[in-house]
Structure 1
Amino acid sequence: MRKLSGIFFLILILWSSNSFSQQYPLNEAFTFGEELNFEVSYGWLNLADAKLQINRRSQTQNNRPHYKIDVYGKTKGAATIFGRVNDNWGTYLDTNTIQPSVSYRHIEEGKYRKHEKVYFDQANNKALVELYEKDNRTLKSVKEYDLPGTVQDLVSGFYYLRTLDLRKLKPGETILIKGFFDKEIYNIKLIYEGTEKLETEIGEKETYIFSPQLPKNKLFRGEYPVKVWVTKDQNKIPVKIKANLFLGSLNFDIINAKGLRNN
């Protein structure tokens, strides 16, 4: 089941684009209190629930207001037979710059545990990574990393993308992705494929379609194995994600959306 968690959060980092502009983006897509819920399935089997949630109130970091954004993933039903997953990934996102100041991971997958905090110094291009013991209280290690300019973390990158003007994209154009995750810098291309009308649990939606170009690996099938459908409106929320595996495919389908900024 750890592959399930890895796929979901790998998909999130694929949105960590920083290639459109160095200017601070204008956020008209999301706000405090937004909540997006998804069902994760493999064929006929419902494996897990996933939730993306923005805290209802502003949080202060470095004397500046931030969005506190959490992503939760939890196995359910028969899927727990293969191992329980109960993960929480999060970020503190500066409301002005739409850049992360702090990110964190709390991973519980079977007997495996990982607790990590990353403090970003975007002005000086540094990241300080704190790793904790299984009890999530005892500090295990601290290490500083150099960054190649401003970056997004695993969660913040998706919200950054939602602030961009996607209407100017043409099929075949790419977005260069720059993100810091698990002590490494990722630079991956996100290909824009066009638009599609999609029937979802929250109604019929016009959507943008994106496919990330992934490095060769043993998990996905094909050069462009993942597709993401994002609503073609002011909210720009994901409504479907499909990942083609070497055997079958994994689907993330939205089941409800609350607290959207634009109705």
Structure 2
Amino acid sequence: MIQFRLLLLFFLLPTLGLTQQAPTVPFTFGEELNFEVSYGWINLADAKMQVSNQPHIHDQKPHYKIDVYGQTKGAAALFGRVNDNWGTYWDGDTRLPKISYRHIEEGKYRKHEKVFFDQKNRKAKMQLFDRENKVLTEVKEFDLPGQVQDLVSGFYYLRSLDLRDIKAGDYVTIKGFFDKEIYNIKLIFEGTERIKTELGEKDTFIFSPQVPKNKLFRGEYPVKVWVTQDQNKIPVKIKANLFLGSLNFDIISAKGLRYN
């Protein structure tokens, strides 16, 4: 299920800094977005993006606790069971992550990780734990090239931006910290489109990250993300063109939205 994990990486990471920030955060505590993941006609997995019901305090400041879950279902689990959780504690004032974490279960593979960000001093401290997530096994510090987002926080930062004046062809090179590395990814705004979803017809912005050549994706811009043009700015569809077929995320429900 490496395709599932890599698509989440390109969906969540390359979404930082296009224009000025919007005056308010367009989501609120208790928001929950649910998706169906499919390959052709096969339903592979369920995915969920969830904001905690109440703030979490770090350094005497309230933070949003945001989780993304991915889990295989049905016959897809026979080819490799996936039960993943990515998360972040996100400061709504600075719009930067304070802590990120990953709990990965893919077949027999396990990984439990926390990263503590010192954005002011451009440092990150990573902690790795054993398979049962009980014993600390490794601690490592990293220098950062500036303020960075993590795997989950980047997408919520995108939602906080004012996109009203963005034009087709506009792009940005962004920085994110993930898996001990700094990623610089070019995100292209392709334009707008009205599409049908389980939530009804939606006017959307379309974004595409520039993906380095690899053996999984087809073309230079193989991933597209559709984000609603309304005040909530929620993702309603993601499509990745693979060398064989395509992988799709389609929204199936949304609740707890800030704006009706």
**TM-score category of the 2 structures, normalised to the smaller one:** over 0.9
Aligned: 1:257 with 2:247: no
Aligned: 1:5 with 2:2: no
User: Counterpart in 2 of 1:230?
Assistant: 227
Aligned-pair identity in percent equals: 68
- Structure 2 contact 18–161 (Cα < 8 Å) conserved: no
Q: Write the deviation string for residues 168-200 of structure 1: whole angstroms up to 9, x where unpaired.
A: 111011022211001111111111111000000
Aligned: 1:151 with 2:148: yes
User: Counterpart in 2 of 1:163?
Assistant: 160
User: Counterpart in 2 of 1:213?
Assistant: 210
Aligned: 1:127 with 2:124: yes
TM-score normalized by the length of structure 2 = 0.97
Aligned: 1:76 with 2:73: yes
Q: How far apart are 1:25 and its partner, in Å? A: 5.8
Amino acid at match of 1:202: L
User: Counterpart in 1 of 2:55?
Assistant: 58
Q: How far apart are 1:86 and its partner, in Å? A: 0.2
User: Counterpart in 2 of 1:115?
Assistant: 112
Give distance in 1, aligned partners of 2:246 and 2:217: 9
- Structure 2 contact 25–92 (Cα < 8 Å) conserved: no
Give distance in 2, aligned partners of 1:27 and 1:151: 21
User: Counterpart in 2 of 1:44?
Assistant: 41
Amino acid at match of 2:132: D
What are the equivalent positions in structure 2 for 1:78-117 lying under 5 Å apart?
78-117=75-114
- Structure 2 contact 111–131 (Cα < 8 Å) conserved: yes
User: Counterpart in 2 of 1:188?
Assistant: 185
Q: How far apart are 1:96 and its partner, in Å? A: 1.2
- Structure 2 contact 18–163 (Cα < 8 Å) conserved: no
Question: Secondary structure at 2:112's aligned position in 1?
Answer: strand
What are the equivalent positions in structure 2 for 1:237-252 lying under 5 Å apart?
237-252=234-249
Give distance in 1, aligned partners of 2:228 and 2:28: 16
Question: RMSD value over aligned CA atoms?
Answer: 1.1
Question: Secondary structure at 1:29's aligned position in 2?
Answer: coil
Amino acid at match of 2:10: L
Give distance in 2, aligned partners of 1:35 and 1:19: 25
Aligned residues: 260
Give distance in 2, aligned partners of 1:244 and 1:179: 23
Gaps of 5+ in 2: none
- Structure 1 contact 18–178 (Cα < 8 Å) conserved: no
Q: Which runs of 4+ in 1 moved over 6 A?
A: none
Question: Secondary structure at 2:154's aligned position in 1?
Answer: helix
- Structure 2 contact 18–171 (Cα < 8 Å) conserved: no
Give distance in 1, aligned partners of 2:193 and 2:19: 23
